[in-house]
Amino acid sequence: DDKPQLYVIALDGGEAARLTEMPLGVSNLRWAGHKIFFVSEVLPGYEGKLDSMKAELDRRKEKKVSAKTTEVRLFRYWDHWRTDGTVPHLCSIECKSGRGGALADLTPGWSRLLTDSGDLDYDVSPDAKEIAFSALEFGAPYDSLVNDVFLIDVTTPGAARNITPEN
pLDDT tens column, 98-121: 666 788 999 888 776 666 555 678
132 touches 115 (CB < 8 A):
no
Dihedral sign computed on CA atoms, order 52, 53, 58, 59: positive
Helices and strands in the chain, H and E counts? 1, 12
Predicted pLDDT of residue 60: 82
Q: Report how far apart the first and last C-alpha atoms of the chain are (Å, whole number).
A: 41
Kindly tell me if the per-residue pLDDT of 55 is higher than 70: yes
pLDDT on residue 6: 93
Distance CA 93, CA 106 (A): 10
Residue 53 has pLDDT above 80, yes or no: yes
Average pLDDT on 91-95 reads 90
* Cα separation, 103 vs 48, whole angstroms: 10
| Mean per-residue pLDDT of the chain | 81
What is the reported pLDDT for 86? 78
Dist. CA 33–CA 12, nearest whole Å = 20
Model confidence pLDDT, tens digit, residues 145-161 = 778 899 999 988 888 88
pLDDT at 97 over 80: no
Q: What is the pLDDT of residues 76-88, one digit of tens each?
A: 556 665 656 778 8
pLDDT confidence band for 69 (50 / 70 / 90): confident
Tens of pLDDT, residues 32-45 = 888 999 999 888 88
Higher per-residue confidence, 153 vs 165: 153
